[in-house]
Structure 1
Amino acid sequence: MNDSQPTESDLKKALNHLLEWCAEQRSDNALTSVNVLPDTGLGQAEAGRLTANLSLKRAQSFQSPGWFAHMDPPTPWVTWTTQAFTAAMNQNLLHPDTGEIGRRMEAKVVAALAPHFGMDGGHMVPGSTLANLTALWAAREIAGAKEVVASELAHLSVAKAAHILGLPYRTVPCDRAGHIETDQLGNLEGSCLVLTAGATSTGSVDPMSPMPKAAWVHVDAAWAGPLRLSPTHRTKLAGLETAQSVAVSAHKWLWQPKDSALILFRESKTAHQALSFGGAYLAAPNIGVMGSSAARAIPLAATLMAFGRDGIAERLDACVALAERFAAHIQADPEFELWAPPETGVVAWRPVKGEVSALRERLAAQGYFVSQTKLDGEDWLRSVAIHPAIKVDAIYEAARNQ
């Protein structure tokens, strides 16, 4: 065996310990009592047991079919194993010497996904915050964008990116359903226009067909982007393919462990050239914001191969259908109010009477989790269909019986 690889003994030891920790009757060890830097080390087995105990006991489980709260998915087990292998090999994609397989796998993943968005390439980043920053950076360097324009419901990372890049940031109002008011866009001749495909609070998709004309158009499709893989729902993002760049979070609706996202470009060669830097020790240009970078494409590649495009679409369609079913319950019940029909699996709703936060707490006590947001300055519950087997009927019944 190549001595750069983990030995069979190491792998068996790690697997045996993992099985023991999963089977262990977990205690309520308080995190506050943990000394993470003791004078004398505990050894890997005991340190692993202790951290597994804390994590498995106290971390929120996104695997639960009562999880209807945030854009954080249940991950398929193939990602657990591939993530472990990735950690064991600890590849660094900054240099071909330290990340050859990771680099090649990322290229294959990008090549497989980019055409679904009308893009010809791109690269992976830890999340859409960096994807958005990278896109706006490209807009400034290539198109000479002098301002960033986005809706009032755009993700906060867009304003962050504009601030980091020293670009003025202008917001545009949305209609009642959460879509940017295109007649309020103004002159975009020198602007990077950011459209949202799946607003965080409402799931709403800004109109993209016809695409507004601007110096550069970027679509933040962190949430709803994967719908382009669904023949049933891809038209909800019609026009996206005419943008200059698209951000997609794989650790949302592609069910990846964090951190996993993509920034895709319609003309990736030009974009990458504009965002490349070199160094004396580098054998290849360093593209984008990241320096050292993990082989995050490997779990994503395993998931795509495991499910296939049809399987991904089936799961997406199931999530959208569950959100629509729950929204239908809410809309038909005079005790509740629906913000708007869900477009991309996100339902904003609330009780007509009583406190939003109180209902949320009562649902959580029964193992049903929803989140909370503000729309027009008022509190609303927010339910995100990211688990393909959410018990929406049971959650509705639990809510109406409060």
Structure 2
Amino acid sequence: MGAPWQHLFHPANADRYRQAVGSAVDHLVDHLGGTAGRPLTGITPREAAERVAAVDLDRPLGAGPDALAELSRLWLDDAIWFHEPTAAAHLNCPVVIPALAAEVFISGVNSSLDTFDQSAGATFIERHLVDWTAARIGYDDQADGIFTTGGTQSNLQALLLALGQQAAPAERLRIFASADGHFSVQKAARMLGLGDAAVVPVPVDLSRRMDPAALSTALSDSVERGDVPMAVVATAGTTDFGAIDPLPEVAALARAYGAWFHVDAAYGGGLLVSPRRRDWLEGIELSDSVAVDYHKTWFQPVSCSALLVRDGATLGHVTWHADYLNPKDSAHPNQVDKSLQTTRRFEALKLWMSLRVMGADAIGEHLDTVIDLADAVAAELTAMPDIDVAAAPQLSTIVFRSCPPGVADEAALAALNAAIRAELFDDGRALVAATKVDGRSYLKLTLLNPIATVDDVLGVVEMVRGAGRRIAGESAAPRAPRQRLAVAR
């Protein structure tokens, strides 16, 4: 196999590196052009597991085509391709090319962003992006933040900072979040030792937004019981409906009760660069902290996210000084002082390169495009007699289900739509998600592909309708169209 150091990224191996990366890019592009309009193959977990388990990791294949061929067989041949318009299940986006170019530098140089003496200029690139995002939110120059692995980590750290502001016993602390909010709030409460009962779900209105009146009642009732409102978490873009909670009203209630106000904008944070819809985030500037996932509506590769805080001093709750890493008397600006992580990749470079090559407006236009797409598709769906749309879309998700004639029982509808989703996955035609709304089973389209057209998405819907009619054993029968839904904003 040759000397082991021949595989190190080193000037002596520059030609070998260039060849290896070039071969990998060529191999990937070959796969990219051979997806044949399908987002997946529908491989079963058992098949995938057996293929991987059969590999003897103690017998390397060496540099060359064998390793790439094996990679295709184990993964790429059956990978989920999010650039395909028929991949419409989850909040996974096709990614912009400048960010992919950045990955070459991130991996090759291998900077770690915990301390300045491991990253140098990278420290300030990240800090500049934090300041820029904070300014987009509407924070002043006291703001700060840190890049994270995703919204789950950002929400955890935000609630940790909220906890650090409290002197009350942990068992009395309460977190108020929309009933449609992200499950990471409950996970964070567990990880912080507060328990499941610490999270108070707040009912939503007909537009699936947190109901301020219900929040007011929940806060008042909690205080009357002797509990302490630790935090109120508003969502700017719920996972299922893309709903944006009424941020100004929620902010006022949080402030009235002395609670930390956090906005989970993991999904909707891309509106910060939207040329047409930035005003949808009105009130976000009133928050104490914001979670933003650049790897969702900013079209960056996973992972690329951040937690932003109004007052940078609050990040001190996660600071710990180690003499061997970031001593108190260090003359360098160390990012580990405000991060839950120690070693951290230079993920910020992806966003930096995207902004420097494309510009913020271009990224925002991608998001505006998929929101327009969701509105147009939803308008078509509400006129279909065998399709039930749960609510008008607010960002780029559509929650709907197949309701063929003669199938009205909820249990039967749940089984039918589960079977439709499985069929589309198994034959690789389309990838749609599943969810529940008020206990009822639905399918979901998550549209994050700005190249997709209305016809592309309606093609997926027709697959759902056709499978629904066939599985139900009935032909499509004409029925009076449902009333079109007005798009809620």
TM-score by length of 1: 0.91
Alpha-carbon distance change, 41 to 11 in structure 1, aligned in 2, over 3 angstroms: closer
SS at match of 2:296: helix
CA distance in 2, matches of 1:260, 1:236: 23
Alpha-carbon distance change, 332 to 84 in structure 1, aligned in 2, over 3 angstroms: same
SS at match of 1:281: coil
User: How much does 1:58 deviate?
Assistant: 1.2
CA distance in 2, matches of 1:49, 1:93: 34
User: How much does 1:79 deviate?
Assistant: 2.5
Question: Which one of 156, 178, 186 corresponds to residue 183 of structure 2?
Answer: 156
CA contact (8 A) 1:346 1:383 kept: yes
CA distance in 1, matches of 2:392, 2:92: 22
Aligned partner of 2:388 in structure 1 is 337
Aligned partner of 2:305 in structure 1 is 261
> Cα deviations across residues 92-141 of structure 1 (Å, max 9, x unaligned)?
11222222233222112212222111233311000111100110011111
Question: Which one of 317, 342, 345 corresponds to residue 368 of structure 2?
Answer: 317
CA contact (8 A) 2:176 2:229 kept: no
Alpha-carbon distance change, 338 to 39 in structure 1, aligned in 2, over 3 angstroms: closer
CA contact (8 A) 1:219 1:246 kept: yes
Are positions 1:227 and 2:271 aligned together?
A: yes
Aligned partner of 2:246 in structure 1 is 207
Are positions 1:47 and 2:77 aligned together?
A: no
1:238-317, aligned counterparts within 5 Å?
238-268=282-312, 270-283=313-326, 284=334, 286-317=337-368
User: How much does 1:44 deviate?
Assistant: 4.0
1:2-401, aligned counterparts within 5 Å?
7-19=13-25, 21-22=27-28, 23=30, 32-34=50-52, 35=54, 38-45=57-64, 46-119=66-139, 120-142=143-165, 144=167, 146-167=173-194, 168-185=198-215, 186-187=219-220, 190-210=229-249, 211-214=251-254, 215-268=259-312, 270-283=313-326, 284=334, 286-353=337-404, 355-364=416-425, 365=427, 367-390=429-452, 391-401=456-466
> Cα deviations across residues 298-320 of structure 1 (Å, max 9, x unaligned)?
11211222221220121111000
CA distance in 1, matches of 2:84, 2:386: 27
Counterpart AA for 1:223 = Y
CA distance in 2, matches of 1:190, 1:378: 31
CA contact (8 A) 2:144 2:310 kept: yes
> Cα deviations across residues 210-262 of structure 1 (Å, max 9, x unaligned)?
32332210011110111121132122221111010000111111112112211
- Which stretch shows the higher mean deviation, 74-83 or 235-244? 74-83
Counterpart AA for 1:212 = A
Alpha-carbon distance change, 68 to 281 in structure 1, aligned in 2, over 3 angstroms: same
CA contact (8 A) 2:398 2:444 kept: yes
CA contact (8 A) 1:360 1:369 kept: yes
Counterpart AA for 1:379 = S
Counterpart AA for 2:401 = R
User: How much does 1:78 deviate?
Assistant: 2.6
Counterpart AA for 2:17 = L
User: How much does 1:86 deviate?
Assistant: 1.2
- Which stretch shows the higher mean deviation, 360-369 or 253-262? 360-369
User: How much does 1:55 deviate?
Assistant: 2.5
Alpha-carbon distance change, 292 to 350 in structure 1, aligned in 2, over 3 angstroms: same
* Count of residue pairs brought into register by the alignment: 399
CA distance in 2, matches of 1:348, 1:124: 31
CA distance in 2, matches of 1:399, 1:170: 36
CA contact (8 A) 2:275 2:361 kept: no
- Identity percentage of aligned residues: 29
CA contact (8 A) 1:6 1:88 kept: no
SS at match of 1:10: helix
User: How much does 1:386 deviate?
Assistant: 0.6
User: How much does 1:31 deviate?
Assistant: 5.3
CA distance in 1, matches of 2:17, 2:131: 32
Counterpart AA for 1:276 = T
> Cα deviations across residues 357-387 of structure 1 (Å, max 9, x unaligned)?
2333454447332211011111111111111
CA distance in 2, matches of 1:320, 1:263: 24
CA distance in 1, matches of 2:114, 2:357: 28
SS at match of 2:253: coil
Residue segments in structure 2 that go unaligned for 5+ positions in a row: 1-8, 36-42, 327-333, 405-412, 468-489
CA distance in 2, matches of 1:49, 1:108: 41
- Which stretch shows the higher mean deviation, 133-142 or 162-171? 162-171
CA distance in 2, matches of 1:104, 1:37: 43
User: How much does 1:143 deviate?
Assistant: 5.1
- Which stretch shows the higher mean deviation, 338-347 or 72-81? 72-81
CA contact (8 A) 1:6 1:89 kept: no
Residue segments in structure 1 that go unaligned for 5+ positions in a row: none
SS at match of 2:165: helix
Alpha-carbon distance change, 134 to 37 in structure 1, aligned in 2, over 3 angstroms: farther
User: How much does 1:147 deviate?
Assistant: 2.0
Counterpart AA for 2:81 = S
Counterpart AA for 1:234 = R
CA distance in 2, matches of 1:298, 1:37: 36
CA contact (8 A) 1:326 1:396 kept: no
CA contact (8 A) 1:144 1:190 kept: no
> Cα deviations across residues 239-290 of structure 1 (Å, max 9, x unaligned)?
111010000111111112112211001112x122232111011243532211
CA distance in 2, matches of 1:339, 1:376: 10
